[in-house]
Copies of this chain bind each other. A is one copy, B any other.
């Protein structure tokens, strides 16, 4: 099911499958745009909910959109804020019109509708905007999932009608929870609306990985061959491999940057927790097979010292390493697809990581 593709955007092409680093607040945490470019990142994700609240879409628009504001010259995708407002729990109320919610920053009241979100995403000016959807929690009853999935379909139609930003593609988002028939209905409905690409939402929301893979494997064949498929919010190395094996083209996740700031590193041998005392006098790089700036220069002992001493450079080097690791992993998977040996490559990687 794996595919090797190319996404064309107003800010240049993106080879797929691809991992998109997340810049929630118009910055990939601890990174400059120059560093992201150097490590081979091609497309970034940013966040409608966060940017709407702070600094506001109008200020971003005054800079010529996110590209000007955060000074990233490559493609950008904005999520719709759907996931974030649903994650607010008791701070939000879902109605047919949209979602009323309170800001996590100051408690102020706001309303997101498909139309208002299209307006905000238009101002943010990313190359790809995501439709406003309802993310179904896990577990959810069939009735709940059915109603939410149907609403996501109606909202997708309203997003499509409202979306008018030039040089911006709008992707629909397939929901349906863990119910295969609802996934099928959702996919059919969205495909009928003919979006230029499709997000697969509502996975990696607390379910076990085998269930996620099963639902994913059921969903990707329901989507058109020639359009990009984006598995939202997924980004551990094993899930990237499993997703690519099931026909996913695009991924994003805060995991690599978040765990980096906490001192957890991806390596060719699995995860490494740099604060552990076993690395106190370890002169080796984080990963002897890695060519990132951190691994080319610094010892584990030095990076551990930076974490123990609370130095920002520790978070920076760990973030550079983890993002470089995932970007390089995707390049390796793309090459394996081209050379028709993805099965072996995937098995070798998963085995080395201890899966």
Which A residues are closer than 8 A to B by beta carbons? 25-27, 29-34, 54-55, 59, 62-63, 69-71, 280-281, 283, 293, 297-299, 301-302, 304-306, 308-309, 311-313, 315-316
Contact = CB atoms under 8 A, between A and B. Distances in A.
Given A25-B306, A55-B305, A59-B305, 11 more contacts: A25-B305, A25-B309, A26-B302, A26-B305, A29-B312, A33-B297, A54-B308, A55-B308, A63-B299, A69-B302, A71-B298
Contacts of A313: 27, 29-32
Given A63-B299, A301-B63, A302-B63, A316 B26 contact: no
A27 B311 contact: yes
B63 A311 contact: no
B63 A283 contact: yes
Given A63-B301, A301-B59, A302-B26, A32 B309 contact: no
A302 B68 CA distance: 10
Nearest to A315: B312
Contacts of A281: 59, 62
A313 B23 CA distance: 11
Contacts of A316: 30, 32, 312, 316
Given A32-B316, A297-B71, A312-B30, A62 B302 contact: no
Contacts of A71: 297-298, 302
Contacts of A308: 54-55
A283 B62 contact: yes
Contact of A29 (B280, B283, B298, B311): B311
A34 to B, nearest CB: 8
Contacts of A299: 63, 69
Contacts of A29: 311-313
Most buried by B among A27, A71, A280, A297: A27
Contacts of A297: 33, 71
A46 to B, nearest CB: 12
A108 B165 CA distance: 63
Nearest to A306: B27
Contacts of A283: 62-63
Contacts of A306: 25, 27
Contacts of A30: 312-313, 316
A302 B70 contact: yes
Nearest to A70: B302
Contacts of A59: 280-281, 301, 305
Nearest to A28: B313
A29 B297 CA distance: 17
Given A281-B59, A283-B62, A54 B305 contact: yes
